[in-house]
């Protein structure tokens, strides 16, 4: 997807260090962290918002995998608690229209 900053990060057009990657999902640190740990879990597939999930393409499975990636990162880091958040739509504060799960924790 042209002009999508997360597609550019995934396509390595914009440099970013992945803290996790597989064939479907990448994770990298948020550029403006809201806590000691603030990781964005992002599918390689361009889906603008949670409202655009397509059951015919099994997107719900992809979202489930994103949750597991977040859980695994939290576990690896020994986080005692964390918040997982999807912002959906401009009025809810979504600024990047390529779905991403925020993993936020102070440890």
Q: Does 96 bind ligand AMP (CB under 6 A)?
A: yes
Concerning whether 100 is annotated as a catalytic residue, the answer is: yes
Q: Does 94 bind ligand AMP (CB under 6 A)?
A: yes
Q: Does 32 bind ligand AMP (CB under 6 A)?
A: yes
The 3-class SS string of the chain reads: CCCCHHHHHHCCCCCCCEEEECCCEEEEECCCCCCCEEEEEEECCCCCCHHHCCHHHCHHHHHHHHHHHHHHHHHHCCCCCCEEECCCCHHHCCCCCCCCEEEEECC
Q: Does 63 bind Zn ion (CB under 5 A)?
A: no
The site for ligand AMP (CB under 6 A) is made up of 5, 16, 28, 30-32, 40, 87, 93-96
Would you please indicate which residues are annotated as catalytic (active-site) residues?
100
């Amino acid at each position: 997807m042209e002009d999508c900053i997360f597609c550019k990060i995934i396509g390595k057009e914009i440099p970013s260090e992945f803290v996790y990657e597989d064939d479907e999902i990448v994770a990298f640190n948020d550029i403006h962290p809201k806590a000691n740990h603030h990781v964005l879990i992002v599918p390689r597939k361009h889906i603008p918002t949670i409202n655009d999930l397509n059951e015919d393409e099994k997107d719900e499975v992809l979202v489930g995998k994103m949750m597991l990636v977040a859980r695994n990162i939290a576990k690896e880091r020994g986080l005692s608690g964390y918040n997982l958040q999807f912002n959906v739509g401009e009025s809810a504060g979504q600024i990047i229209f390529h779905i991403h799960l925020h993993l936020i924790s102070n440890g």
